[in-house]
Structure 1
């Protein structure tokens, strides 16, 4: 388990340097977990898919700021995913403009 975690950390660091192949491997490893979280927070499948996509876009954009001394790669991605999911839930609870 520790070597798998270390591998994800290294892949996320490489992603921060612009390595799309490394990020694809991070995605392949973590997408099922991120999607599971998204599904628990959003019952609608389309909303869960949108949250999963946005979470990984956010992870790609923020990868240069990833610091493995502060958190593991999986934890870092899952916190981003949770933030995206909660923000999107807040958007759903707001009334549409003009209502």
Structure 2
């Protein structure tokens, strides 16, 4: 199926729109996971250590967090990215070049 997806114009058009065909569910879906309405997701607040959770209601905040990539399926996933982000900040070197 993967080989056909690459050559079929329909699959290429979906790809350009950030979508994909899921043959298991037989649905078109976004490439990145997004919670269904009423489901919880997690995000990182820079000033706090623990990830926060929010219920998806497709408002401006939900959309902004999803579009920015600060939107995670689990608390553990969010914590992993928060730890990596904090590590990068502690090791930053750009300001040392000035």
Which TM-score tier does this pair reach, normalised by the shorter chain?
0.3 to 0.5
Decide which structure has greater helix share: 1
TM-score normalised per structure 1: 0.35
Higher relative contact order (Cα pairs below 8 Å, separated by 6+ residues): 1
More strand, by proportion: 2
**In terms of Rg, which structure is larger?**
2
